[in-house]
Amino acid sequence: MSIGWHQTISLLKAGDYQQAAASLDRARQHYEGHDEALWAATLTVTQRLCLMCVECAAASAHHQQALIALSEQLDKLNADLLAIITLLQNLETREEADPLTGADPRSRSREVQQTLWRRLGSVLGRARLPASQPAPAVELPPMPASPISAQPSAALAVCCLGPFRVYQHDRLVEDWASRKGKLVFKYLVTHRERPIPKEVLMDLFWPDSSPEAARNNLNVAIYGLRQSLHQNSPDESHILYQDDCYLINPDLDIWVDVEAFRDHLARARRLEEDSPAGAIPEYHLAEALYTGDLLGEDRYEDWASAPRQQLKDAYLDVLERLSRHYYARGEYTTCIAQCRKALAVDSCRESAHRWIMQCYAQQGQRYLAIRQYQECAEALRDELDVEPSGETVKLYERILTGDQTRPDASPQPVFEFQGI
């Protein structure tokens, strides 16, 4: 019997150790059947070496994936640290009132501090090493009182981006009387620019009930909601009923992360008209607030779908603007980190893949740029069943040929956020 040495050698050169081991095993069985003990024993040992190569290759692939994940984590944390340091520097040097709003600088500084504090909490939550490494026991302490302002904390601070949380004077509201009451509160908060007629709430949350039953259910939900909010603030009226409408008490000092996101984005766009670089801290403040999709736990609530997508689009455009800024400055690691955040939200966003490819190419890491293209093509096939666009393919071909021409990185208009 011919063992097929050439075929086995070809398999080994190709790294296909599994098939090479199978080929050697067939030869071993042949020689065992013909009482060729020495040949059979030799092939047995050789086959075992092949199987050891299989295990080594699998371990190598596993560690390679871990290294890639750690590298991406490092890029993200580095970008977060740079953004936070930039904001701290901006906060320290801002001594005059905001020329755009005429706001008291102490109040504005406090607002920036609170945003930074929430950003730090989000970063600490993500900064976890792999299970094989001991995780640092780092927790964010309570937000300290501001030394520059005697302004009390907000009566209500509501986080709708990412996990839904409500704080009353910095104390978390944990016990909600009912899911429906909590949903009604979410709707009132995200539409607090106007009172909401009770019929709207009845149709929205109890569409299949009779008018009488829906009205009763709404009354029960509102009662439970008020009880939940009274736990930490028994003397405050949070939900008002006026002219057959419900609304959040407009006299309360309320902070809502969605509104802060919108304000930072609007302020950045106004600043960008005169100083694109001056708008970057505001874009970072907006980006810091987006810790997840709007009301992500309520995926099947139709009324939240449109604003959720709108906010996501705005966030992706903020990341695009930051990516362009850092690429133009030659800060490729930070640019890559911004793009990774975009891909975490939309793995098929080709512009983010292209920026990463170009950054790697500029750093002389062409193999990483090629791998990024393959990741892009795989995501598009799996999610959308399409191939990469012509623009992405052309960039890939340029990288293959070693063309290092930098694309235009001039600022582009950011998505016009309309609020919710």
- Dmax (CA) for the chain in angstroms is 99
Burial category of 280 from C-beta neighbours within 10 Å (exposed 0-12, middle 13-18, buried 19 and up): buried
d(CA 230, CA 224) in angstroms, rounded, equals: 10
Q: What is the pLDDT along the chain (420 residues), one digit of tens a residue?
A: 455 777 788 777 777 877 877 777 788 787 887 778 888 788 788 878 887 887 777 777 667 766 776 776 676 666 666 666 666 665 555 544 444 444 444 454 555 555 555 555 555 544 444 444 444 444 444 444 443 333 445 688 899 998 899 988 878 898 898 999 999 999 999 999 999 999 999 999 999 999 999 999 999 999 999 999 988 777 888 999 999 999 999 998 899 999 999 999 999 999 988 888 888 989 998 998 898 999 989 988 999 999 999 999 999 999 999 999 999 999 999 999 999 999 999 999 999 999 999 999 999 898 899 999 999 999 999 999 999 999 999 999 999 887 665 555 443 433 343 444
Strand order in the sheet with 165-168: 171-172, 165-168, 156-159, 254-256
d(CA 83, CA 89) in angstroms, rounded, equals: 10
Burial category of 151 from C-beta neighbours within 10 Å (exposed 0-12, middle 13-18, buried 19 and up): middle
Burial category of 264 from C-beta neighbours within 10 Å (exposed 0-12, middle 13-18, buried 19 and up): buried
Return the bridge partners of 171, or none. 168
Give this prediction's pTM.
Answer: 0.66
- Output phi, psi for 365, to 5 deg: -105, 65
Q: Which two tokens stand for residue 344?
A: 């975490």
* Phi and psi based region of residue 364 (left: phi greater than 0; alpha: psi -120 to 50; beta: remaining): left
